[in-house]
Structure 1
Amino acid sequence: MASELDDSRCDQPRTEGDLDEDQENELEIQAQEYVDRVRNPELCGPRPQSCPLEVSGEQQPRSNRTSASDLSVRLRSSQVLPADNVQSSLLSLPWELVLEICSYLDARFVLGVLPLVCRAFQCVLTDEVTWRIRAQKTLGLSYPVLEGKDFDWPTACIELEEHLSHWSGSNPKVEHFSLNDGHFASVDSVLLIQNASLCISGSRDRNVNIWDLRRLAQDGEKVLVKTLGHQPRGTHRGWVWALAAQANMLCSGSWDSSVKLWDMASEGAAVREIRGKAAVLCLVYLPDILVTGSYDKLVTMYDPRVNYPVLTSRKLHSSAVLCLAADDRFVLSGSEDRTLVVVDRRTNHVLQRLQLDSYLLSMSYERGELWAGDKWGLVHVFEQQKGNFQHVKCFNVGHRSQLTGIRHSVGTLYTSSTDKTIKVHVPTEPPHTVCTLPHNDVVNGISVEHDVLAAASGSMTVEIWRMTN
């Protein structure tokens, strides 16, 4: 793999003055050509016949459903339940009826309070079979798509029910706000931080803005806090294309080939700048490393805590790197060359190079499960087992062009697209769309944290949906 090593030093210092106006204009032309090629809805091309069809109508439930009688037999065999002749009151009821009664109570309450009532409740309501039954009753669909050995059924059920409560029905429990007084060009990146109290946005106006979402709907309060940096021409000298955060540190990546770090504990004070040789298109920020994917096909790992931050820089692809994901073991990169590359962080060795039918633009990776969106608006699911990633599912969730954002958790799935929509799903097989949020322009990305959904809009706005009780 020696040919993949890049011998350039990406951390050489360079000042803002190194870019003159002509160079800035050239970067903007390059950026626009990239957007026209990679994110143009009219150029996504026809899907091949092998692509799945969009699901419509009622979906059939799985046939191997777990029943409450199974739970009762299991618990009796473990001598958890008292004998029939000593049962009384609520415990004397069939467990099918007990679980039916509990289904009318909030899942978080059922898990947090009722196990304290008695030993039998504690055993029943902390057993994963109980929550399997509840999830199947709630969804009536095949769930989950992937069930690893550590799948957390109680957490999944709580997420599912709260998710459906917020977004289902004719009157969703959601407030919508459009932040339109901060940018004067398309917003291409958005990030929620600090428990969704702050929203960060990056734009083609070259600025990074901070918004205080606690001020939403408060009379006389200005939601826009500040624009980062003190340069007269903007936070960066090129379009701001990527954002990432770790603890109190925020980083922004730009078409000016730089990554800038900001201390959010010090009101967004500039910490340092790391210079590269090409546009930074995607970022991942973990406690010990910062990973960038760039227009010149490089995946670079930095340790931003030291003076010479480059750990390794490798040309893993034959085209621009469009999206990244990482954890303490792997770095995954998707490229315009239609490949997904998996690198072992410990050995810096390429473990896999998967050839795909289309390029990926967005990723959501957690606990060995990768959900990714491609240029056709399809959702792909990859499973990691013993260090090997395998493409296991492909879903058509109803988008008509490039899928620019995806966020998956055990109980939720959000997607955004250049088709001017955001879709809210439950992650069943196939995903069931709960609602569609139409927009008046392309949606360039999303961020979800706690009870807030933020979207970057081509109409120069940041769109916020805040879920209410």
Structure 2
Amino acid sequence: MATSQEVESDNDSEGESSDDPERQALDYVSRVLSTVALQDKTRRPPPTLTMEFQDGLQHGGLDLKKSPVAGEDGEVTPQLLLLPFELILHILSYLEPRFILGVLPLVCSTLRDIVSEKVTWKVRVQKNISSNFPVVEQENFDWPSACIELEEHLSHWSDIRKIEHFSLADGHYASIDAVLLLQGGSLCVSGSRDRNVSLWDLRNLGDGQEKVKALGAEKTGTHKGWAWSLAACDNLVCSGSWDSTMKIWDIGAEGQQVGEIRGRAAILCLAFLPDILVAGSYDKRVSVYDPRASRPLIKCRKIHSSPVLSLVADDRHIVSGSEDRTLVVFDRRVNAVSQRIQLENYLFCMSYEAPQLWAGDNQGLIHVYGSHGGTFQHLRVLEITV
């Protein structure tokens, strides 16, 4: 059994893996992807906001059990505002939140007070979502803006009949395992098991004029193995493959190749920052590169005991998840592992915007972590139902 020191140490003495990348990829898919079965667990239903709202009603500026009354300044209150507050909120629910914010405060002081009270927006959110919102408590949370964003998002996806579907069928002939949208969704990069990385121009979606370009000059494909991972930084896109290479493409120059880095093993995940490129690989390593240098490798650490499946990075941390069911936090400033979290399941994907880290595991759960003082703490787990 490997010790913690052995797992976390640099180990440059091992040679490059000689396993066939195609066989490795098939073994990986069979083990990690194809055999995933959701565990039968008795999960608690998502908590509701009922008690939170009751506290808000008792301590907030408005009392939902009383009707608004005319102000002491003699302002005449419309008869509508003499209705119970619950009915007023129900009537307001038929109005767009942007209209409520922009127009109602100009009508009278009572409506202005209603619109400015956060409980008004909390109640409105509760009608749309049954779980905790926001997922992570935040100081000075902007409830009106959050309500607008939430309702517009729900409206966009509420009626699937209004959603347009497009099939981009000419660019690949095998399964697509990585997709990346660029430039506000006008461009798309896709990586496939046909070994190609394709660049799509989506600005003419629906008129049959979508342009697709296979990146690279090789007739056998962009890579010599499955194109498995993608990451972007500004106009540069990096593609990682089971052939152990990372290729860098300049989207601003119509997808010309501007760099190539050869790793030790299959590249399963990437994070691309202005100063570094981080790669997680099949040989359990997390490697850091400077793509601008003639010798790009900066450091290579075997900090996991199984293949690295997902990672994120910023100017302070590199966070990686592995098939060994661990989440490892690497502190770039001290050049060492600062935290290791043991998980019940392994993580497939992660998204990080300080101070929140969201991660999806192989059991269909989303885990939310918060970063405080350089330490990540598990805050909540969400079950996504369809």
Q: Which of 186, 198, 204 is equivalent to 2:187? A: 198
Distance 2:42 2:202 in 1: 39
CA contact (8 A) 2:249 2:257 kept: yes
Q: Which residue of 1 aligns with 2:123?
A: 133
Q: Which residue of 1 aligns with 2:308?
A: 321
Answering whether residue 348 of structure 2 is matched by residue 361 of structure 1, we say yes
CA contact (8 A) 2:136 2:379 kept: no
Aligned residue pair count = 370
CA contact (8 A) 2:306 2:324 kept: yes
Q: Which of 242, 255, 259 is equivalent to 2:242? A: 255
Distance 1:129 1:288 in 2: 44
CA contact (8 A) 2:38 2:364 kept: no
Q: Which residue of 1 aligns with 2:20?
A: 26
Displacement of 1:386 in angstroms is 2.6
Distance 1:256 1:126 in 2: 58
CA contact (8 A) 2:313 2:319 kept: yes
Q: Which of 239, 244, 260 is equivalent to 2:231? A: 244
Q: Which residue of 2 aligns with 1:153?
A: 143
Q: Structure 1 residues 288-297 or 334-343, which shifts more?
A: 288-297
Structure 2 counterpart of 1:331, one-letter code: I
Give deviations 1:224-273, integer Å, cap 9, x for gaps.
Answer: 42111111111111111001112211111111111111111111111111
Displacement of 1:314 in angstroms is 1.2
Distance 2:164 2:216 in 1: 31
CA contact (8 A) 1:165 1:172 kept: no
Structure 2 counterpart of 1:104, one-letter code: Y
Gapped regions of structure 2 (runs ≥ 5): 64-69
CA contact (8 A) 2:105 2:115 kept: no
Query: Structure 1 pair 366/150, CA: closer, same or farther in 2 (3 Å)?
Result: farther
Displacement of 1:166 in angstroms is 1.8
Answering whether residue 75 of structure 2 is matched by residue 87 of structure 1, we say yes
Q: Which residue of 1 aligns with 2:158?
A: 168
Aligned partner of residue 291 in structure 1, secondary structure: strand
CA contact (8 A) 1:124 1:130 kept: yes
Query: Structure 1 pair 225/384, CA: closer, same or farther in 2 (3 Å)?
Result: same
Q: Structure 1 residues 172-181 or 275-284, which shifts more?
A: 172-181
Q: Which residue of 2 aligns with 1:309?
A: 296
Q: Which residue of 2 aligns with 1:340?
A: 327
Gapped regions of structure 1 (runs ≥ 5): 11-22, 74-81, 398-432, 437-469
Give deviations 1:430-450, integer Å, cap 9, x for gaps.
Answer: xxx4xx4xxxxxxxxxxxxxx
Q: Which of 201, 216, 229 is equivalent to 1:212? A: 201
Distance 1:310 1:388 in 2: 27
Query: Structure 1 pair 99/231, CA: closer, same or farther in 2 (3 Å)?
Result: same
Displacement of 1:378 in angstroms is 2.7
Higher RCO (CA-CA < 8 Å; seq separation 6+): 1
Query: Structure 1 pair 152/364, CA: closer, same or farther in 2 (3 Å)?
Result: farther
Q: Which residue of 1 aligns with 2:67?
A: none
Displacement of 1:183 in angstroms is 0.6
Distance 1:331 1:150 in 2: 29
Distance 2:283 2:254 in 1: 33
Give deviations 1:275-325, integer Å, cap 9, x for gaps.
Answer: 111111001123333211111111122232444333322111011000112
Distance 1:148 1:129 in 2: 15
Structure 1 counterpart of 2:30, one-letter code: D
Aligned partner of residue 167 in structure 1, secondary structure: helix
Q: Which residue of 1 aligns with 2:66?
A: none
Aligned partner of residue 123 in structure 2, secondary structure: helix
Aligned partner of residue 383 in structure 1, secondary structure: strand
Distance 1:32 1:388 in 2: 36
Query: Structure 1 pair 375/67, CA: closer, same or farther in 2 (3 Å)?
Result: same
Q: Which residue of 2 aligns with 1:283?
A: 270
Query: Structure 1 pair 235/313, CA: closer, same or farther in 2 (3 Å)?
Result: same
* TM norm structure 2: 0.83
Structure 2 counterpart of 1:28, one-letter code: E
Query: Structure 1 pair 275/64, CA: closer, same or farther in 2 (3 Å)?
Result: same
Q: Which of 47, 59, 62 is equivalent to 2:50? A: 62
Aligned partner of residue 161 in structure 1, secondary structure: helix
User: RMSD over aligned Cα, in angstroms?
Assistant: 3.5
Displacement of 1:165 in angstroms is 0.7
Displacement of 1:146 in angstroms is 1.6
Q: Which residue of 2 aligns with 1:425?
A: none
Distance 1:360 1:212 in 2: 31
CA contact (8 A) 1:243 1:283 kept: yes
Q: Which residue of 1 aligns with 2:31?
A: 37
The share of aligned pairs that are identical, in percent, is: 49
Structure 2 counterpart of 1:27, one-letter code: P
Distance 2:127 2:216 in 1: 52
* TM norm structure 1: 0.69
Displacement of 1:55 in angstroms is 5.6
Choose between structure 1 and 2: higher strand proportion.
1
